[in-house]
Amino acid sequence: MKKTRTQRKPKYDRRRALDCRLLEKSKKNPGYFKYEVTIGEKDGTVHKEPAYGRDMQDAISRLIWKERTIKIEKKMERNPFIFFCIWLAVMIAPVIWHGDITYTPWFILYMFGSFTALFLLMGWWQHYLDKKN
């Protein structure tokens, strides 16, 4: 017996936000709201994710950004050599841009400045990801 269209589990060519509902106002951050987003995966499974934002579009874009970041973090954990290459590029960049400054105090300032900027950026990024609404 052939299954009808409503009995079959739908499969999508890409992920989709099927439903988004406003749950409540954020208690910690005024002006933000908590949403529940229902997501349909490529294989047809459906699950719900919480999302926070000023409006529904902002909440969905933050959820997508968070998922992309988690995907990149997993790749970085599996391949620490990539992080080492980025760190090496940050340390070498001042020498490449400014030529022969290796015997001046500016070289040390550039090296420490770029290294500090890299870690400040990583700290800011981690704080952004861990922010609870």
Q: Dump pLDDT digits (tens) for 99-124.
A: 665 667 777 777 778 778 878 887 88
- Lowest-confidence range among 1-5, 28-32, 111-115? 1-5
Fill in the DSSP letter of residue 6.
Answer: T
The closest alpha carbon to 37, from 12, 59, 58, 69, belongs to: 59
Q: Interhelix angle for 56-78 vs 105-130, to 10°?
A: 120
